[in-house]
Structure 1
């Protein structure tokens, strides 16, 4: 196995990846050549404030915190001239069929820009071929209680590592460690209008960030009949899109937060959650009335 050419951290700015950055900054694990945050342009304000705190910590430790972006996911979704990277929106077909749209947003707005940055830093930006033996380690914040999310990299020039697994740390250990070092308010990282939000997160957004709540409500209404590009082309959705699993307008949902929702993992580049689809719900597949006509 080739020795790594560089070491990077995939920084989602949630509990686990923030813990990994802090561990490196304190010298408890090997340092990184850079911590890379993929900005979708639509993170909650609390995430951006937290990211600024992490940038200060990283800078003191000599770790560059790099922000990369493939665009603003909200603006792109509502732009008739932009390709729609499908979000895992909840679907309701003409006859009441319940399903979910495909999730392409994580790959488009998080994984692709991180890979592009790694290639650039290795000296082989696309479309140049990365030579055999040129490998970057990519540390990913997955704790023991989420070990099922740990996977090998899908490209030869990256090798995924999992520092928290090596330490045997669980999410609770990370929370305690962050709190001990003044980062107890580390937020969950996910887009403002992410369909994977729990009711607790929607309720918190509504009470703590009314402007962003209104933004999510407006987005929910705007995507009801499919992407802006498809509608502009005269190809509306055969059915409806919703950001909430109840499949009614977000501002009409009666939110029912549960204590367990506080432990829901964030949407990191390689750790985006996959909630169970409701009974009898079918995923949106080609030819389904819940998908846009090609």
Structure 2
């Protein structure tokens, strides 16, 4: 959408906003720098980078409240589960809303008049039109230009390829539990990033840092990989029979997601991590 706006095929936007969790792959930051340098700046479109902090550092800091990641867990009775996902709201949605309020001239807790709002573009293609939703606040009105243009994901890829941007990386935290095996292998190809996520996986095994510091009893063991074994030992080179059997309906699309993860990465407004949490209080007192 940024490229289409810069090219004049869509109206010129006033701003582009990137919510930085502080833990994206280096390739994502390099790509963002390139977009700003080659597309946004020449078109006069400011790219605003907002952040609520570094999610990795915060998760391991006993002084911080733990904004739960959707971790794969083994409960004390041996049954598998997942923790509630709060990270997208805390590290992406909230800082974007804070920036928008600032741009409108009404920082929180100021009341924004009904007639004051922004038109916010969200990059959902026709493949996922059912994910297009209205904003949950009056001062943001969602628009979906790709759907309006009738563009599918394939159309987007072809357009990016024509701009020499075919290698656009997915935006998601390095240690996102919704990664598929292919994404874990990509991270493993970078020894520094692989060591980072393996160390984090080991660090969260015994619960979140704040709960541990408060001597709260554990309700289970947490893992980044859905196999619920340490990441350095996880079967990321193939999908195991146990993983396939754990899917609600073992069809081809499920196998595709096991391998490649969620289709669109972790967009602030369309994160595919909407699974029901089966253990909402991981690491907290029972």
* Cα distance in 1 for residues equivalent to 2:2 and 2:70: 29
* Cα distance in 1 for residues equivalent to 2:203 and 2:280: 22
Deviation at 1:236, TM superposition (A): 3.9
Residue matched to 2:273? 274
Residues 164-222 of structure 1: per-residue CA shift (max 9 Å, x gap): 00011111111111011010110011000000000000011101x21111100000000
1:283 partner SS = coil
1:103 partner SS = coil
Residues 8-61 of structure 1: per-residue CA shift (max 9 Å, x gap): xxxxxxxxxxxx111001000011110000000000000000000111110111
Report if the CA contact (8 A) 2:59-2:208 is conserved. Answer: yes
Residues 209-247 of structure 1: per-residue CA shift (max 9 Å, x gap): 211111000000000111101100111422111111000
* Cα distance in 2 for residues equivalent to 1:203 and 1:195: 14
Residue matched to 2:278? 283
Structure 1 gap segments, 5+ residues each: 1-19
Report if the CA contact (8 A) 1:203-1:257 is conserved. Answer: no
Residue matched to 1:83? 65
Deviation at 1:254, TM superposition (A): 1.6
Residues 98-156 of structure 1: per-residue CA shift (max 9 Å, x gap): 11000000000000000000000000000111011101011001011111221110000
* Cα distance in 1 for residues equivalent to 2:275 and 2:103: 37
* Cα distance in 2 for residues equivalent to 1:222 and 1:97: 21
Q: Does 1:46 align with 2:27?
A: yes
Give the alignment's TM-score, normalised by structure 1: 0.87
* Cα distance in 2 for residues equivalent to 1:226 and 1:143: 38
- Aligned-residue Cα RMSD (Å) equals 1.7
Report if the CA contact (8 A) 2:208-2:283 is conserved. Answer: no
* Cα distance in 2 for residues equivalent to 1:218 and 1:266: 22
Structure 2 gap segments, 5+ residues each: 240-254
Q: Does 1:104 align with 2:86?
A: yes
Deviation at 1:285, TM superposition (A): 4.0
Report if the CA contact (8 A) 1:192-1:212 is conserved. Answer: yes
Report if the CA contact (8 A) 2:211-2:283 is conserved. Answer: no
Report if the CA contact (8 A) 1:101-1:291 is conserved. Answer: no
Residues 254-290 of structure 1: per-residue CA shift (max 9 Å, x gap): 213589445722101011113767xxxx72146xxx5
Residues 51-89 of structure 1: per-residue CA shift (max 9 Å, x gap): 001111101111000000000000000001011000000
Give the alignment's TM-score, normalised by structure 2: 0.90
* Cα distance in 2 for residues equivalent to 1:135 and 1:167: 23
Residue matched to 2:285? 293
Which 4+ stretches in 1 moved above 3 angstroms? 256-263
* Cα distance in 2 for residues equivalent to 1:180 and 1:270: 27
